[in-house]
Amino acid sequence: MKPALIVHAGAWKIPEATHADHIAGIRAAAEAGWAILASGGSALDAVETAVSIMEDDPTFDAGVGSVLNRVGEIELDAMIMDGSTLQLGAVAAVRGITNPVKLARLIVEDTDHSLLVGDGARRFAELKGMRLCAQAELTVPREVERYRKLQEVPDYRLSDGFTPDTPGPWDTVGAAAMDMHGNLAAATSTGGVHYKLPGRVGDSPLVGSGAYADNQTGAASATGHGESIMRVVLSKTATDAIGHGKSAQAAAEYAVRTMYERVGGYGGIILVDYRGEIAFAFNTPHMAVAWVDVDGQVQAHLKTRQSAP
Ligand code: GLY
């Protein structure tokens, strides 16, 4: 089968000054993932590689460049899922590693568990020989500045006022792919929401919310307001819609519309369906998305919403 790949790096009102960095980052991720698929590699390897490249890119709220929580710490969430087996690995609120998606993959390969959190996840990383890092390695000046400003805001509560104009970043990163064997996979990684309470876990590591993959329907990765995404189990809602006969594009739009209509949520989703069709939908001002077209060329775009949410 012809492989397929789509990646994203967030859906929100992405500042114009960072558009070029976003496009360069998603392009690099899509090219690396595509190189794996084009040479016969697995969808699981492709999404892991694409996401880890975006984790290493300080432009995005994942890995290096992640937001700080309310006590000035970085806690990371990630998930990877294999559509051929429905096995998944996820980590939540883990500190001191640069590539949580790689740790999630090790959970798939080397454990009979699905989700490890906090210190346990970090201890597992150490056990598997992953390099642990100091928080300074993940921290960028942009986020220190944002944190200091938020400290000045009395009783700051993000969820009270979340709109597409809420200052980000909402640069969760993700990828969905199909390989030559028709196997699907999806992965998502994030630093979560800025100024979150310590221990807050978003949608990204929750199966069916931040990502889902099933060879019989599709592979999906979500981005946006985690508390909204998890309430409608956005990725599973989208892949189930494919199972009920919708095209990939119709399923992506249906899932985002459902989130908005049911819980007033904002965000976006990427999809690859079991036929290898790719799609994305979002209801925020922008979404950063890259895919590989029918000629094998990477298309990387900062998309602007065309209609009301
Ligand atoms: N969608 C990422 C988060 O809310 O944590």
CATH number of 4-66+138-193+201-304: 3.60.20.30
Residue ranges of the chain whose pLDDT lies below 70:
158-162, 164-165
Q: Ligand 1: distance of its center to the CA of 92 in Å?
A: 11
Q: Ligand 1: distance of its center to the CA of 2 in Å?
A: 31
* Binding-site residues, ligand 1, Cβ < 6 A: 172, 190, 192-193, 202-204, 223-226, 229
Burial of 62 (0-12, 13-18, 19+ CB in 10 A): buried
* pTM > 0.85: yes
pLDDT, position 159? 57
Candidate from 229, 256, 269, 283 with most ligand 1 atoms within 8 A of CB, to mutate: 229
Q: Ligand 1: distance of its center to the CA of 190 in Å?
A: 7
What type of residue sits at position 231? R
CA dist 304 to 101, 235, 285, Å? 28, 21, 6
Candidate from 54, 94, 170 with most ligand 1 atoms within 8 A of CB, to mutate: 170
